[in-house]
Amino acid sequence: MNRTKDSSTSLRIAIQKSGRLTDKTVDLLHGIGIDFDNYKRNLMVKTRNFDVELLLLRDDDIPEYVQDGVCDLGFVGANVTRETQADVTVLRGLNYGNCRLSLAAPKSADIRTADDFDGKKVATSYPNLTRDFFGNKGIDVQIVEISGAVEIAPQLEVADAIVDLVSTGGTLRANGLIELETIMESETELIRTNHELSPGKKELIERFMVRMDGHLQAGKSRYMMLNAPKGSVDEIKSIIPSMKSPTIVPLAEDEMVAIHTVVPFNELWLIMEKLKEAGASDIVILPIESMIL
Ligand code: PRT
Ligand code: ZN
């Protein structure tokens, strides 16, 4: 039987249509079991196995769509949300699309600190964040708002210096600019509308967040299996403080046990070295797809 979905009850999620955040956001959604395709050709995509519609937008429009309740959730850079001053709630920082909004000036100019910007022309696509930054310091700048290729503004004598996003710093260097100070660090965030939602949508968001947190936690963890002499189990437990209730299985070989547990990825190598010293052997590490604690 064909059942049509009531679109008013579907969760609407805004993602960037085509840009730096698109692939990682699509991977993340696929990673939490939300199936869809054709997102490159359509502006709206229905997903197959979760009551979600995806809206594919320019990143600049995402905070406003979420603020206005056109979309319930959105994936977008913190830089864009702060610049648009949208009234939304940040649910999670997602640690991709990382960059920083920085002041930069030509190597040849004698602008080296924020104070040197007094009375200068600053080109940027981030007029609000730039105005706030200098305003808070009591520094008077003239903002020249441009939407792209900000880095060449000083060469074109449109401005004395710039405020722009930086990730590797390669673009600044290629244009003879020096990075002077960071205005804000940015990452992709999951934002939620502040509009009152129906109980059905609230429940969908809760389910979505359980999957999301499981996926994010899994990305930071690894499954570890090892063999150890029975006598070293206590020492091994003390090496892995997060190990609340490891699975301990006796092995055919007397006096040996197999231990299975989950360890934080960022401590993995340190833990393995200590385990080896404590007598562990045959240590195997596996990625985890998802986990619900
Ligand atoms: O079409 P649409 O409006 O959706 O996309 P867009 O062209 O406005 O944005 P896009 O896809 O370039 O970037 C989307 C988001 O990625 C940004 O809002 C940031 O949150 C994030 N991000 C991460 C970056 C960068 N890193 C980045 N390096 N966005 C832009 N840059 C640019 C920067 O503006 C500069 O021109 O890359 C250049 C500097 O890079 P480096 O590595 O040379 O320092
Ligand atoms: Zn944009």
**Do the domain assignments include residue 117?**
yes
Q: Are residues 84 and 196 in the same domain?
A: yes
Ligand 1 contact, 99 CB (< 6 A): yes
Ligand 1 contact, 167 CB (< 6 A): yes
Ligand 2 centroid–CA 147 distance in Å is: 9
**Do the domain assignments include residue 282?**
yes
Confidence of residue 254 (pLDDT cuts 50, 70, 90): confident
Ligand 1 contact, 221 CB (< 6 A): no
Whether 93 has a pLDDT exceeding 90, the answer reads: yes
CATH number for the domain harbouring residue 228: 3.30.70.120
| Distance in angstroms (rounded) separating the CA atoms of residues 21 and 204 | 24
Which residue's CA is minimally distant from atom 3 of ligand 1? 58
Q: Would you state the pLDDT for residue 5?
A: 40
Ligand 1: residue of 80, 81, 99 to mutate (most ligand atoms within 8 A of CB) is 99
Confidence of residue 253 (pLDDT cuts 50, 70, 90): confident
* 263-281 mean pLDDT: 93
Count of structural domains within the chain: 3
Ligand 1 contact, 83 CB (< 6 A): no
Query: Is residue 293 exposed (0-12), middle (13-18) or buried (19+ Cβ within 10 Å)?
Result: exposed
**Do the domain assignments include residue 115?**
yes
Q: Are residues 192 and 51 in the same domain?
A: yes
Q: Are residues 42 and 167 in the same domain?
A: no
Proportion of the chain above pLDDT 90, given as a percent: 85
Shortest CA distance to 101 belongs to which of 18, 196, 166, 171? 166
Q: Are residues 198 and 251 in the same domain?
A: no
- Lowest mean pLDDT segment, chosen from 47-51, 149-153, 192-196, 251-255: 251-255
Q: Single out the residue in 175, 199, 218 at which a domain terminates.
A: 218
Encode 60-96: b = buried (16+ Cβ within 10 Å), e = exposed.
Answer: ebbbbbbbeebbbbbbbbbbbbbbbebebeebbebeb
Ligand 1 contact, 148 CB (< 6 A): no
Mean pLDDT over each residue of the chain, to the nearest integer: 93
Q: Single out the residue in 218, 238, 260 at which a domain terminates.
A: 218
CATH number for the domain harbouring residue 153: 3.40.190.10
Q: Are residues 132 and 17 in the same domain?
A: no
Q: What is the pLDDT of residues 119-144, one digit of tens each?
A: 999 999 999 999 999 999 999 999 99
Q: Are residues 90 and 198 in the same domain?
A: yes
Task: Give the torsion sign (CA, 22, 23, 26, 27).
Answer: negative
**Do the domain assignments include residue 5?**
no
**Do the domain assignments include residue 251?**
yes
Q: Are residues 168 and 39 in the same domain?
A: no
Q: Are residues 71 and 200 in the same domain?
A: yes
* 58-81 mean pLDDT: 98
Q: Single out the residue in 139, 169, 186 at which a domain terminates.
A: 186
Ligand 2 centroid–CA 38 distance in Å is: 21
Q: Are residues 78 and 103 in the same domain?
A: no
Range of the domain at 111: 99-186
* DSSP codes joined into one string, 187-238: -EEEEEE-S---HHHHHHHHHHHHHHHHHHHHHTEEEEEEEEEGGGHHHHHH
Whether 113 has a pLDDT exceeding 70, the answer reads: yes
**Do the domain assignments include residue 1?**
no
- Ligand 1 atom at minimum distance from 80 CA: 18
Alpha carbon distances (Å) from 264 to 179, 268, 282, 285: 34, 6, 19, 11
| Distance in angstroms (rounded) separating the CA atoms of residues 1 and 154 | 64
Alpha carbon distances (Å) from 41 to 15, 35, 53, 59, 60: 14, 16, 15, 17, 19
pTM to 2 decimals? Answer: 0.90
Ligand 1 contact, 102 CB (< 6 A): no
Q: Are residues 126 and 178 in the same domain?
A: yes
**Do the domain assignments include residue 260?**
yes
Whether 4 has a pLDDT exceeding 60, the answer reads: no
List residues bridging with 8 in a β-sheet.
none
Cα of first residue to Cα of last residue in the chain, in angstroms, is 36
Whether 183 has a pLDDT exceeding 60, the answer reads: yes
Q: Are residues 141 and 34 in the same domain?
A: no
Q: Would you state the pLDDT for residue 243?
A: 58
* 18-42 mean pLDDT: 93
Q: Are residues 84 and 117 in the same domain?
A: no
Shortest CA distance to 243 belongs to which of 259, 255, 230, 229? 259
* 111-118 mean pLDDT: 96
**Do the domain assignments include residue 103?**
yes
| Distance in angstroms (rounded) separating the CA atoms of residues 287 and 172 | 37
Q: What is the pLDDT of residues 206-249, one digit of tens each?
A: 999 999 999 999 989 999 999 999 999 999 988 986 656 788 99
